Protein backbone atom coordinates (compact mmCIF):
# COMPACT_ATOMS: atom_id res chain seq x y z
CA UNK A 1 0.00 0.00 0.00
CA UNK A 2 1.17 3.53 -0.75
CA UNK A 3 2.32 5.75 2.11
CA UNK A 4 2.60 9.48 1.64
CA UNK A 5 2.26 12.58 3.79
CA UNK A 6 0.21 14.00 0.90
CA UNK A 7 -2.34 11.21 1.24
CA UNK A 8 -3.46 11.73 4.84
CA UNK A 9 -7.02 11.26 3.61
CA UNK A 10 -7.91 8.61 1.06
CA UNK A 11 -11.22 10.35 0.64
CA UNK A 12 -13.37 12.66 -1.43
CA UNK A 13 -13.60 16.37 -0.60
CA UNK A 14 -17.02 18.02 -0.33
CA UNK A 15 -17.91 21.40 1.21
CA UNK A 16 -14.46 21.71 2.80
CA UNK A 17 -14.58 18.24 4.44
CA UNK A 18 -12.85 14.94 3.66
CA UNK A 19 -15.63 12.40 3.13
CA UNK A 20 -16.15 8.67 2.56
CA UNK A 21 -18.77 7.22 0.20
CA UNK A 22 -22.28 7.15 1.70
CA UNK A 23 -22.40 3.42 1.01
CA UNK A 24 -18.99 2.82 2.59
CA UNK A 25 -17.91 1.20 -0.68
CA UNK A 26 -14.35 1.61 -1.94
CA UNK A 27 -12.49 1.02 -5.21
CA UNK A 28 -8.94 -0.33 -5.33
CA UNK A 29 -6.13 1.55 -7.05
CA UNK A 30 -3.30 -0.54 -8.52
CA UNK A 31 0.29 0.00 -9.60
CA UNK A 32 0.32 -1.03 -13.28
CA UNK A 33 4.04 -1.86 -13.06
CA UNK A 34 3.48 -4.80 -10.71
CA UNK A 35 -0.28 -5.21 -10.26
CA UNK A 36 -0.05 -4.54 -6.51
CA UNK A 37 -2.77 -2.62 -4.71
CA UNK A 38 -1.75 0.92 -3.80
CA UNK A 39 -4.87 2.12 -1.99
CA UNK A 40 -8.64 1.87 -1.66
CA UNK A 41 -10.57 5.10 -2.29
CA UNK A 42 -14.28 5.90 -1.82
CA UNK A 43 -16.66 4.72 -4.50
CA UNK A 44 -19.21 7.54 -4.61
CA UNK A 45 -22.31 8.15 -6.68
CA UNK A 46 -25.14 10.57 -7.38
CA UNK A 47 -25.94 11.60 -3.77
CA UNK A 48 -22.41 12.72 -2.93
CA UNK A 49 -22.28 14.55 -6.28
CA UNK A 50 -25.53 16.36 -5.45
CA UNK A 51 -24.02 17.57 -2.18
CA UNK A 52 -20.85 18.69 -3.94
CA UNK A 53 -22.91 20.66 -6.48
CA UNK A 54 -25.01 22.20 -3.68
CA UNK A 55 -21.81 23.25 -1.86
CA UNK A 56 -20.53 24.89 -5.03
CA UNK A 57 -23.85 26.61 -5.63
CA UNK A 58 -23.93 27.94 -2.06
CA UNK A 59 -20.51 29.58 -2.28
CA UNK A 60 -21.14 31.18 -5.67
CA UNK A 61 -22.44 34.58 -4.40
CA UNK A 62 -19.45 34.89 -2.05
CA UNK A 63 -16.62 33.96 -4.38
CA UNK A 64 -13.78 36.38 -3.57
CA UNK A 65 -12.40 39.02 -5.91
CA UNK A 66 -9.77 38.65 -8.61
CA UNK A 67 -6.84 39.52 -6.32
CA UNK A 68 -7.70 36.77 -3.83
CA UNK A 69 -8.24 34.25 -6.59
CA UNK A 70 -4.90 35.19 -8.13
CA UNK A 71 -3.25 34.45 -4.78
CA UNK A 72 -4.92 31.00 -4.74
CA UNK A 73 -3.39 30.25 -8.12
CA UNK A 74 0.05 31.50 -7.09
CA UNK A 75 -0.08 29.50 -3.85
CA UNK A 76 -1.13 26.34 -5.72
CA UNK A 77 1.69 26.83 -8.22
CA UNK A 78 4.19 27.24 -5.38
CA UNK A 79 2.83 24.23 -3.48
CA UNK A 80 3.00 21.99 -6.55
CA UNK A 81 6.57 23.03 -7.31
CA UNK A 82 7.64 22.61 -3.68
CA UNK A 83 6.10 19.11 -3.56
CA UNK A 84 7.09 18.12 -7.09
CA UNK A 85 9.05 15.06 -6.03
CA UNK A 86 6.40 13.56 -3.81
CA UNK A 87 3.52 14.26 -6.20
CA UNK A 88 5.65 12.86 -9.03
CA UNK A 89 6.28 9.71 -6.99
CA UNK A 90 2.54 9.18 -6.38
CA UNK A 91 1.84 9.85 -10.06
CA UNK A 92 4.55 7.42 -11.16
CA UNK A 93 3.19 4.69 -8.88
CA UNK A 94 -0.44 4.93 -9.97
CA UNK A 95 0.12 5.69 -13.67
CA UNK A 96 3.45 3.96 -14.38
CA UNK A 97 5.15 6.74 -16.36
CA UNK A 98 8.89 7.25 -15.68
CA UNK A 99 9.38 9.38 -12.58
CA UNK A 100 11.26 12.12 -14.43
CA UNK A 101 8.35 12.37 -16.82
CA UNK A 102 5.97 12.37 -13.85
CA UNK A 103 7.83 15.25 -12.24
CA UNK A 104 7.81 17.06 -15.57
CA UNK A 105 4.04 16.68 -15.54
CA UNK A 106 3.85 18.35 -12.11
CA UNK A 107 5.86 21.30 -13.49
CA UNK A 108 3.54 21.36 -16.50
CA UNK A 109 0.53 21.48 -14.15
CA UNK A 110 2.13 24.32 -12.15
CA UNK A 111 2.67 26.28 -15.37
CA UNK A 112 -1.12 26.54 -15.88
CA UNK A 113 -1.61 28.06 -12.41
CA UNK A 114 1.28 30.40 -13.14
CA UNK A 115 -0.03 31.45 -16.56
CA UNK A 116 -3.58 32.20 -15.43
CA UNK A 117 -2.36 33.98 -12.28
CA UNK A 118 -0.29 36.26 -14.48
CA UNK A 119 -2.92 37.05 -17.08
CA UNK A 120 -6.31 36.85 -15.34
CA UNK A 121 -6.59 40.43 -14.10
CA UNK A 122 -6.28 41.91 -17.59
CA UNK A 123 -8.29 39.13 -19.23
CA UNK A 124 -11.22 39.51 -16.81
CA UNK A 125 -11.35 43.31 -16.81
CA UNK A 126 -14.60 44.66 -18.30
CA UNK A 127 -14.27 46.06 -21.78
CA UNK A 128 -15.76 49.38 -22.83
CA UNK A 129 -16.79 49.52 -26.46
CA UNK A 130 -16.74 52.75 -28.45
CA UNK A 131 -20.05 54.60 -28.44
CA UNK A 132 -21.93 53.67 -31.61
CA UNK A 133 -25.64 53.69 -32.24
CA UNK A 134 -28.30 54.61 -29.65
CA UNK A 135 -26.07 57.05 -27.70
CA UNK A 136 -25.11 54.39 -25.19
CA UNK A 137 -21.89 53.42 -23.50
CA UNK A 138 -21.36 49.71 -23.99
CA UNK A 139 -19.61 47.60 -21.36
CA UNK A 140 -18.84 43.92 -21.74
CA UNK A 141 -18.45 42.15 -18.38
CA UNK A 142 -16.72 38.80 -17.99
CA UNK A 143 -18.87 36.92 -15.48
CA UNK A 144 -18.11 33.53 -13.97
CA UNK A 145 -20.26 30.90 -15.67
CA UNK A 146 -21.11 29.33 -12.29
CA UNK A 147 -20.42 25.85 -10.91
CA UNK A 148 -18.31 23.82 -13.35
CA UNK A 149 -18.05 20.03 -13.55
CA UNK A 150 -14.52 18.82 -14.39
CA UNK A 151 -14.00 15.24 -15.62
CA UNK A 152 -10.46 14.03 -16.30
CA UNK A 153 -8.73 10.96 -17.80
CA UNK A 154 -5.91 8.84 -16.35
CA UNK A 155 -3.19 9.64 -18.86
CA UNK A 156 -2.14 12.95 -17.25
CA UNK A 157 -3.41 12.62 -13.67
CA UNK A 158 -2.36 16.16 -12.66
CA UNK A 159 -1.78 17.89 -16.02
CA UNK A 160 -5.40 17.51 -17.12
CA UNK A 161 -6.97 18.82 -13.91
CA UNK A 162 -4.57 21.79 -13.83
CA UNK A 163 -5.73 22.87 -17.30
CA UNK A 164 -9.30 22.97 -16.01
CA UNK A 165 -9.25 23.97 -12.37
CA UNK A 166 -6.72 26.82 -12.78
CA UNK A 167 -8.85 28.78 -15.30
CA UNK A 168 -12.04 27.83 -13.41
CA UNK A 169 -10.66 29.32 -10.17
CA UNK A 170 -9.36 32.34 -12.06
CA UNK A 171 -12.84 32.89 -13.52
CA UNK A 172 -14.47 32.50 -10.09
CA UNK A 173 -16.18 29.16 -10.75
CA UNK A 174 -16.71 26.71 -7.89
CA UNK A 175 -15.88 23.23 -9.21
CA UNK A 176 -16.87 19.59 -8.82
CA UNK A 177 -14.06 17.35 -10.07
CA UNK A 178 -14.23 13.68 -10.99
CA UNK A 179 -10.87 11.97 -11.61
CA UNK A 180 -10.37 8.76 -13.58
CA UNK A 181 -10.84 5.52 -11.63
CA UNK A 182 -7.26 4.41 -12.36
CA UNK A 183 -5.54 7.57 -11.05
CA UNK A 184 -7.34 9.31 -8.16
CA UNK A 185 -4.34 9.51 -5.82
CA UNK A 186 -2.42 12.33 -7.51
CA UNK A 187 -5.65 14.33 -7.48
CA UNK A 188 -6.23 13.65 -3.77
CA UNK A 189 -2.67 14.85 -3.09
CA UNK A 190 -3.34 18.08 -5.01
CA UNK A 191 -6.59 18.65 -3.11
CA UNK A 192 -4.78 18.09 0.20
CA UNK A 193 -2.27 20.78 -0.74
CA UNK A 194 -5.04 23.20 -1.71
CA UNK A 195 -6.97 22.37 1.47
CA UNK A 196 -3.94 23.02 3.68
CA UNK A 197 -2.35 25.99 1.94
CA UNK A 198 -5.19 28.04 0.46
CA UNK A 199 -7.78 29.95 2.40
CA UNK A 200 -10.62 28.66 0.25
CA UNK A 201 -14.26 29.16 1.17
CA UNK A 202 -16.05 25.84 1.74
CA UNK A 203 -17.54 24.44 -1.46
CA UNK A 204 -15.13 26.26 -3.79
CA UNK A 205 -13.43 23.01 -4.83
CA UNK A 206 -15.01 19.57 -4.50
CA UNK A 207 -13.74 16.10 -5.37
CA UNK A 208 -15.97 13.09 -5.99
CA UNK A 209 -14.81 9.71 -7.25
CA UNK A 210 -16.55 6.44 -8.03
CA UNK A 211 -19.27 5.53 -10.52
CA UNK A 212 -18.62 7.50 -13.70
CA UNK A 213 -22.18 7.10 -14.97
CA UNK A 214 -23.77 8.14 -11.65
CA UNK A 215 -21.42 11.07 -11.01
CA UNK A 216 -21.42 12.14 -14.67
CA UNK A 217 -25.20 11.65 -14.84
CA UNK A 218 -25.78 13.91 -11.84
CA UNK A 219 -23.46 16.62 -13.19
CA UNK A 220 -25.33 16.53 -16.49
CA UNK A 221 -28.82 16.45 -14.91
CA UNK A 222 -28.25 19.33 -12.51
CA UNK A 223 -29.41 22.81 -13.57
CA UNK A 224 -26.86 24.18 -11.11
CA UNK A 225 -23.92 23.04 -13.26
CA UNK A 226 -24.07 25.15 -16.44
CA UNK A 227 -20.66 24.05 -17.70
CA UNK A 228 -18.79 20.75 -18.05
CA UNK A 229 -15.16 20.51 -19.01
CA UNK A 230 -14.33 16.95 -20.05
CA UNK A 231 -11.18 15.25 -21.32
CA UNK A 232 -11.41 11.67 -22.48
CA UNK A 233 -12.69 9.46 -25.25
CA UNK A 234 -14.85 10.66 -28.12
CA UNK A 235 -17.51 8.06 -27.20
CA UNK A 236 -18.04 9.52 -23.72
CA UNK A 237 -17.85 13.04 -25.17
CA UNK A 238 -20.70 12.20 -27.53
CA UNK A 239 -22.74 10.85 -24.63
CA UNK A 240 -22.21 14.11 -22.73
CA UNK A 241 -23.40 16.08 -25.79
CA UNK A 242 -26.65 14.07 -25.74
CA UNK A 243 -27.04 14.52 -21.98
CA UNK A 244 -26.39 18.26 -22.13
CA UNK A 245 -29.41 19.15 -24.23
CA UNK A 246 -32.05 19.59 -21.51
CA UNK A 247 -30.20 22.45 -19.84
CA UNK A 248 -28.27 23.53 -22.95
CA UNK A 249 -25.03 23.23 -21.02
CA UNK A 250 -21.77 24.67 -22.22
CA UNK A 251 -19.32 21.87 -22.96
CA UNK A 252 -15.56 21.96 -23.24
CA UNK A 253 -14.60 18.63 -24.83
CA UNK A 254 -11.02 17.47 -25.28
CA UNK A 255 -11.45 14.13 -27.02
CA UNK A 256 -9.51 11.46 -28.89
CA UNK A 257 -6.96 11.92 -31.67
CA UNK A 258 -5.29 10.07 -34.54
CA UNK A 259 -2.24 12.24 -35.17
CA UNK A 260 -0.40 12.16 -38.50
CA UNK A 261 3.37 12.82 -38.46
CA UNK A 262 4.58 13.80 -41.94
CA UNK A 263 8.26 13.56 -42.90
CA UNK A 264 8.96 15.33 -46.21
CA UNK A 265 11.97 14.47 -48.36
CA UNK A 266 13.76 17.73 -47.42
CA UNK A 267 13.38 17.19 -43.65
CA UNK A 268 16.28 17.03 -41.22
CA UNK A 269 15.86 13.29 -40.66
CA UNK A 270 17.94 13.17 -37.46
CA UNK A 271 15.82 15.85 -35.84
CA UNK A 272 12.57 14.35 -37.15
CA UNK A 273 13.51 10.95 -35.73
CA UNK A 274 14.46 12.45 -32.34
CA UNK A 275 11.20 14.40 -32.22
CA UNK A 276 9.20 11.33 -33.18
CA UNK A 277 10.72 9.25 -30.39
CA UNK A 278 10.13 11.99 -27.78
CA UNK A 279 6.57 12.54 -28.97
CA UNK A 280 5.56 8.95 -29.58
CA UNK A 281 6.83 7.30 -26.41
CA UNK A 282 5.77 9.92 -23.86
CA UNK A 283 3.49 8.14 -21.39
CA UNK A 284 4.26 4.87 -23.23
CA UNK A 285 2.37 6.24 -26.23
CA UNK A 286 -0.76 6.90 -24.19
CA UNK A 287 -1.25 10.58 -24.96
CA UNK A 288 -3.83 12.20 -27.20
CA UNK A 289 -1.07 14.09 -29.07
CA UNK A 290 1.14 11.05 -29.73
CA UNK A 291 1.94 10.53 -33.41
CA UNK A 292 -0.31 7.66 -34.50
CA UNK A 293 0.42 7.43 -38.25
CA UNK A 294 3.89 8.24 -39.52
CA UNK A 295 3.93 9.22 -43.21
CA UNK A 296 7.39 9.29 -44.78
CA UNK A 297 8.15 10.40 -48.36
CA UNK A 298 9.27 7.31 -50.27
CA UNK A 299 12.70 8.69 -51.28
CA UNK A 300 13.72 8.96 -47.59
CA UNK A 301 11.53 6.14 -46.24
CA UNK A 302 14.28 3.57 -45.77
CA UNK A 303 16.80 6.00 -44.29
CA UNK A 304 14.26 7.48 -41.87
CA UNK A 305 12.90 4.05 -40.92
CA UNK A 306 16.40 2.84 -40.02
CA UNK A 307 16.99 5.87 -37.81
CA UNK A 308 13.71 5.24 -35.99
CA UNK A 309 14.32 1.49 -35.62
CA UNK A 310 17.79 2.06 -34.12
CA UNK A 311 16.43 4.56 -31.62
CA UNK A 312 13.49 2.37 -30.62
CA UNK A 313 15.74 -0.65 -30.03
CA UNK A 314 17.74 1.46 -27.54
CA UNK A 315 14.71 2.36 -25.39
CA UNK A 316 14.49 0.79 -21.95
CA UNK A 317 11.15 -0.49 -20.69
CA UNK A 318 10.53 -1.02 -16.99
CA UNK A 319 9.14 0.23 -13.71
CA UNK A 320 8.93 4.02 -13.91
CA UNK A 321 10.55 4.29 -10.48
CA UNK A 322 13.84 2.97 -11.95
CA UNK A 323 15.90 5.95 -12.93
CA UNK A 324 17.05 4.93 -16.43
CA UNK A 325 13.68 3.68 -17.69
CA UNK A 326 12.22 5.40 -20.80
CA UNK A 327 8.89 3.59 -21.00
CA UNK A 328 6.64 2.32 -18.23
CA UNK A 329 3.73 -0.12 -18.38
CA UNK A 330 0.41 0.42 -20.12
CA UNK A 331 -2.41 1.44 -17.84
CA UNK A 332 -4.56 -1.72 -17.96
CA UNK A 333 -5.36 -4.90 -19.84
CA UNK A 334 -7.84 -3.23 -22.22
CA UNK A 335 -5.19 -0.71 -23.30
CA UNK A 336 -2.58 -3.47 -23.70
CA UNK A 337 -4.89 -5.70 -25.74
CA UNK A 338 -5.76 -2.82 -28.07
CA UNK A 339 -2.10 -2.28 -29.01
CA UNK A 340 -1.61 -6.03 -29.42
CA UNK A 341 -4.67 -6.20 -31.67
CA UNK A 342 -3.42 -3.32 -33.85
CA UNK A 343 -0.02 -4.97 -34.33
CA UNK A 344 -1.53 -8.41 -35.04
CA UNK A 345 -3.97 -6.86 -37.53
CA UNK A 346 -1.17 -5.02 -39.36
CA UNK A 347 1.07 -8.10 -39.52
CA UNK A 348 -1.80 -10.22 -40.86
CA UNK A 349 -2.27 -7.65 -43.66
CA UNK A 350 1.38 -7.60 -44.73
CA UNK A 351 3.23 -5.17 -42.43
CA UNK A 352 6.78 -6.06 -41.35
CA UNK A 353 7.81 -6.20 -37.69
CA UNK A 354 11.10 -4.25 -37.43
CA UNK A 355 11.42 -3.74 -33.68
CA UNK A 356 9.54 -5.10 -30.68
CA UNK A 357 7.99 -8.48 -29.96
CA UNK A 358 5.45 -10.45 -31.95
CA UNK A 359 2.02 -10.02 -30.31
CA UNK A 360 1.82 -13.77 -29.65
CA UNK A 361 4.72 -13.36 -27.21
CA UNK A 362 2.88 -10.71 -25.15
CA UNK A 363 0.32 -11.45 -22.44
CA UNK A 364 -1.31 -8.72 -20.33
CA UNK A 365 -2.20 -11.17 -17.58
CA UNK A 366 1.55 -11.62 -16.94
CA UNK A 367 2.76 -8.02 -17.36
CA UNK A 368 1.52 -4.68 -18.71
CA UNK A 369 4.93 -3.80 -20.18
CA UNK A 370 4.59 -3.58 -23.96
CA UNK A 371 7.79 -3.64 -26.04
CA UNK A 372 8.16 -0.53 -28.17
CA UNK A 373 7.29 -1.69 -31.66
CA UNK A 374 8.05 -0.48 -35.19
CA UNK A 375 6.25 -1.82 -38.25
CA UNK A 376 6.94 -0.91 -41.89
CA UNK A 377 5.01 -1.33 -45.16
CA UNK A 378 1.86 -0.18 -43.39
CA UNK A 379 -1.27 0.49 -45.47
CA UNK A 380 -4.44 2.46 -44.83
CA UNK A 381 -6.72 -0.53 -44.39
CA UNK A 382 -4.93 -1.46 -41.15
CA UNK A 383 -6.51 -0.65 -37.77
CA UNK A 384 -3.43 1.30 -36.66
CA UNK A 385 -4.20 3.87 -39.39
CA UNK A 386 -7.90 4.13 -38.71
CA UNK A 387 -7.98 4.17 -34.89
CA UNK A 388 -5.99 5.76 -32.08
CA UNK A 389 -3.63 2.98 -30.88
CA UNK A 390 -2.76 4.70 -27.57
CA UNK A 391 0.41 2.68 -27.05
CA UNK A 392 4.06 2.28 -28.06
CA UNK A 393 3.56 1.41 -31.73
CA UNK A 394 5.26 3.25 -34.64
CA UNK A 395 3.60 2.43 -37.99
CA UNK A 396 5.67 3.80 -40.91
CA UNK A 397 3.72 4.49 -44.11
CA UNK A 398 5.38 5.57 -47.38
CA UNK A 399 3.88 8.32 -49.56
CA UNK A 400 4.84 9.86 -52.92
CA UNK A 401 3.59 13.46 -53.26
CA UNK A 402 2.68 16.36 -50.94
CA UNK A 403 -0.92 15.97 -52.07
CA UNK A 404 -0.82 12.34 -50.91
CA UNK A 405 0.61 13.35 -47.53
CA UNK A 406 -2.21 15.85 -47.07
CA UNK A 407 -4.91 13.48 -48.27
CA UNK A 408 -3.73 10.61 -46.05
CA UNK A 409 -3.29 12.86 -43.00
CA UNK A 410 -6.81 14.24 -43.30
CA UNK A 411 -8.29 10.76 -43.86
CA UNK A 412 -9.73 10.61 -40.33
CA UNK A 413 -12.71 11.88 -38.38
CA UNK A 414 -10.31 13.19 -35.71
CA UNK A 415 -8.57 16.57 -35.69
CA UNK A 416 -6.42 17.02 -32.61
CA UNK A 417 -2.63 16.98 -33.18
CA UNK A 418 -0.53 16.72 -36.35
CA UNK A 419 3.13 17.26 -37.26
CA UNK A 420 5.02 18.23 -40.42
CA UNK A 421 8.79 18.01 -40.89
CA UNK A 422 10.52 19.65 -43.86
CA UNK A 423 12.99 22.49 -44.51
CA UNK A 424 11.06 24.40 -47.18
CA UNK A 425 8.76 26.62 -45.12
CA UNK A 426 6.49 27.65 -47.96
CA UNK A 427 5.96 24.02 -48.93
CA UNK A 428 5.29 22.94 -45.34
CA UNK A 429 2.99 25.96 -44.80
CA UNK A 430 0.80 24.82 -47.68
CA UNK A 431 0.38 21.44 -46.01
CA UNK A 432 -0.15 22.88 -42.51
CA UNK A 433 -2.79 25.33 -43.73
CA UNK A 434 -4.83 22.48 -45.19
CA UNK A 435 -4.63 20.07 -42.26
CA UNK A 436 -7.86 19.90 -40.23
CA UNK A 437 -6.09 19.61 -36.85
CA UNK A 438 -6.22 22.08 -33.94
CA UNK A 439 -2.51 21.59 -33.22
CA UNK A 440 0.13 21.27 -35.93
CA UNK A 441 3.80 21.07 -34.94
CA UNK A 442 6.14 22.30 -37.68
CA UNK A 443 9.58 20.69 -37.26
CA UNK A 444 8.70 19.89 -33.66
CA UNK A 445 6.81 17.15 -31.86
CA UNK A 446 5.96 19.53 -29.01
CA UNK A 447 2.51 19.25 -27.45
CA UNK A 448 0.36 21.82 -25.63
CA UNK A 449 1.63 24.63 -23.35
CA UNK A 450 -0.10 26.81 -20.76
CA UNK A 451 0.04 30.04 -22.78
CA UNK A 452 -1.28 28.55 -26.04
CA UNK A 453 -4.85 27.54 -26.87
CA UNK A 454 -5.06 23.79 -27.46
CA UNK A 455 -8.00 21.71 -28.66
CA UNK A 456 -9.48 19.64 -31.40
CA UNK A 457 -11.43 20.00 -34.61
CA UNK A 458 -14.07 17.51 -35.84
CA UNK A 459 -14.56 14.55 -33.46
CA UNK A 460 -11.59 15.60 -31.34
CA UNK A 461 -13.74 18.06 -29.48
CA UNK A 462 -14.93 21.61 -28.99
CA UNK A 463 -13.38 24.49 -27.09
CA UNK A 464 -9.79 25.19 -26.09
CA UNK A 465 -7.63 24.72 -23.02
CA UNK A 466 -4.70 26.99 -22.20
CA UNK A 467 -4.16 30.59 -23.22
CA UNK A 468 -6.75 33.36 -23.09
CA UNK A 469 -9.33 31.10 -24.80
CA UNK A 470 -8.92 28.49 -22.04
CA UNK A 471 -10.00 31.07 -19.46
CA UNK A 472 -12.92 32.26 -21.57
CA UNK A 473 -14.39 28.72 -21.51
CA UNK A 474 -15.41 29.44 -17.89
CA UNK A 475 -16.78 32.92 -18.60
CA UNK A 476 -20.14 34.25 -19.73
CA UNK A 477 -20.04 37.60 -21.48
CA UNK A 478 -22.66 40.07 -20.30
CA UNK A 479 -23.15 43.15 -22.47
CA UNK A 480 -24.48 46.27 -20.76
CA UNK A 481 -25.53 49.22 -22.96
CA UNK A 482 -25.68 52.16 -20.56
CA UNK A 483 -27.84 55.06 -21.67
CA UNK A 484 -27.24 57.45 -18.75
P1 LIG B 1 -12.69 7.85 -20.97
O2 LIG B 1 -12.96 6.41 -20.80
O3 LIG B 1 -13.60 8.64 -21.82
O4 LIG B 1 -12.64 8.44 -19.48
C5 LIG B 1 -12.37 9.80 -19.22
C6 LIG B 1 -13.09 10.22 -17.96
O7 LIG B 1 -14.50 10.15 -18.20
C8 LIG B 1 -12.82 9.31 -16.76
O9 LIG B 1 -12.83 10.09 -15.58
C10 LIG B 1 -14.01 8.38 -16.78
O11 LIG B 1 -14.31 7.80 -15.54
C12 LIG B 1 -15.10 9.36 -17.18
N13 LIG B 1 -16.31 8.73 -17.70
C14 LIG B 1 -16.46 7.50 -18.25
N15 LIG B 1 -17.76 7.29 -18.56
C16 LIG B 1 -18.44 8.41 -18.21
C17 LIG B 1 -19.80 8.82 -18.26
N18 LIG B 1 -20.75 8.00 -18.73
N19 LIG B 1 -20.14 10.05 -17.81
C20 LIG B 1 -19.19 10.87 -17.30
N21 LIG B 1 -17.88 10.53 -17.21
C22 LIG B 1 -17.51 9.33 -17.66
O23 LIG B 1 -11.24 8.10 -21.55
P24 LIG B 1 -9.86 7.52 -21.04
O25 LIG B 1 -9.73 6.13 -21.52
O26 LIG B 1 -9.67 7.79 -19.60
O27 LIG B 1 -8.82 8.49 -21.80
C28 LIG B 1 -8.31 8.20 -23.04
C29 LIG B 1 -8.94 9.07 -24.12
O30 LIG B 1 -8.84 10.43 -23.76
C31 LIG B 1 -8.22 8.95 -25.44
O32 LIG B 1 -9.14 8.86 -26.48
C33 LIG B 1 -7.42 10.24 -25.54
O34 LIG B 1 -7.12 10.64 -26.84
C35 LIG B 1 -8.34 11.18 -24.85
N36 LIG B 1 -7.59 12.35 -24.36
C37 LIG B 1 -7.79 13.54 -24.99
C38 LIG B 1 -7.07 14.66 -24.59
C39 LIG B 1 -7.26 15.98 -25.26
O40 LIG B 1 -6.71 16.98 -24.79
N41 LIG B 1 -8.02 16.04 -26.33
C42 LIG B 1 -6.16 14.55 -23.54
C43 LIG B 1 -5.99 13.32 -22.93
C44 LIG B 1 -6.72 12.22 -23.34
P45 LIG B 1 -13.77 6.34 -15.15
O46 LIG B 1 -12.29 6.41 -15.18
O47 LIG B 1 -14.32 6.16 -13.79
O48 LIG B 1 -14.33 5.42 -16.17
How distant, in Å, are the alpha carbons of 109, 414, 438 from that of 448?
11, 17, 11
3-class secondary structure, 347: helix
Residue among 320, 394, 312 nearest 104 (CA)? 320
**Residues with catalytic annotation?**
254, 288
Q: Are 351 and 382 in contact (CB under 8 A)?
A: yes
* Radius of gyration in angstroms for the set of CA atoms belonging to the chain, rounded to a whole number: 23
Instruction: Give residue-wise pLDDT tens across range 355-391.
Output: 999 999 999 999 999 999 999 999 999 999 999 999 9
CA distance 120 to 172: 11
Nearest CA to ligand 1 atom 9: 180
pLDDT of 137: 87
Strands (E), 12-135: 12-14, 17-19, 26-30, 37-42, 127-129
Instruction: Give residue-wise pLDDT tens across range 102-158.
Output: 999 999 999 999 999 999 999 999 999 977 666 788 999 999 999 999 999 999 999
Could you tell me the distance, in angstroms and rounded to a whole number, from the CA of residue 125 to the centre of ligand 1? 34
Nearest CA to ligand 1 atom 26: 153
* Nearest atom of ligand 1 to the alpha carbon of 253: 41
Ligand 1 contacts (CB < 6 A) are 151-155, 178, 180-181, 212-213, 216, 231-233, 236, 239, 254-257, 288, 388, 416, 456, 460-461
Percent of the chain with pLDDT over 70: 99
Could you tell me the distance, in angstroms and rounded to a whole number, from the CA of residue 152 to the centre of ligand 1? 6
* Nearest atom of ligand 1 to the alpha carbon of 217: 19
Instruction: Give residue-wise pLDDT tens across range 269-323.
Output: 999 999 999 999 999 999 999 999 999 999 999 999 999 999 999 999 999 999 8
Q: Are 379 and 397 in contact (CB under 8 A)?
A: yes
Mutate to test the pocket of ligand 1, among 232, 236, 238, 241 (most ligand atoms within 8 A of CB): 232
CA distance 268 to 420: 11
Q: Are 397 and 301 in contact (CB under 8 A)?
A: no
Mutate to test the pocket of ligand 1, among 44, 109, 153, 455 (most ligand atoms within 8 A of CB): 153
Could you tell me the distance, in angstroms and rounded to a whole number, from the CA of residue 236 to the centre of ligand 1? 7
CA distance 6 to 339: 34
Instruction: Give residue-wise pLDDT tens across range 67-102.
Output: 999 999 999 999 999 999 999 999 999 999 999 999
* Nearest atom of ligand 1 to the alpha carbon of 209: 47
Distance of CA 204 to the CA centre of its chain: 23
Burial grade of 85 (CB within 10 A; 0-12, 13-18, 19 or more): exposed
Q: Are 69 and 172 in contact (CB under 8 A)?
A: yes
Could you tell me the distance, in angstroms and rounded to a whole number, from the CA of residue 67 to the centre of ligand 1? 33
CA distance 294 to 273: 11
Could you tell me the distance, in angstroms and rounded to a whole number, from the CA of residue 460 to the centre of ligand 1? 12
| Angle ∠(300,306,307) on CA atoms, nearest 5 | 90
Q: Does 415 score more than 90 pLDDT?
A: yes
How distant, in Å, are the alpha carbons of 46, 182, 218, 433, 442 from that of 212?
10, 12, 10, 38, 38
Mutate to test the pocket of ligand 1, among 150, 236, 455 (most ligand atoms within 8 A of CB): 236
Instruction: Report the helix count and the strand count for the chain, using DSSP H and E.
Output: 15, 22
Could you tell me the distance, in angstroms and rounded to a whole number, from the CA of residue 96 to the centre of ligand 1? 18
Burial grade of 408 (CB within 10 A; 0-12, 13-18, 19 or more): middle
CA distance 101 to 86: 13
Instruction: Give residue-wise pLDDT tens across range 27-68.
Output: 999 999 999 999 999 999 999 999 999 999 999 999 999 999
Amino acid sequence: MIESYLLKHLAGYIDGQWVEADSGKTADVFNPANGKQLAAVPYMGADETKRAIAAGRAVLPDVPDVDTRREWLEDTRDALLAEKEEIGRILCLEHGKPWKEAQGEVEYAASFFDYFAGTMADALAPETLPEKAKNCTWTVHKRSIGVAGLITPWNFPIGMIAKKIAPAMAAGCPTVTKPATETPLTMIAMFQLMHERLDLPKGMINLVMGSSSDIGGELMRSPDVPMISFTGSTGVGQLLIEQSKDWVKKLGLELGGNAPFVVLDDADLESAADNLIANKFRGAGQTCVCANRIYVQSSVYEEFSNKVIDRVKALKVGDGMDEDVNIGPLINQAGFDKVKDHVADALSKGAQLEAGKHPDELDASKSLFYSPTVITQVTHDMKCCKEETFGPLVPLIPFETDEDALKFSNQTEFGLASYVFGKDEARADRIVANLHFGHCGYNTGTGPAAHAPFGGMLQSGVGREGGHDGLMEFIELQTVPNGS
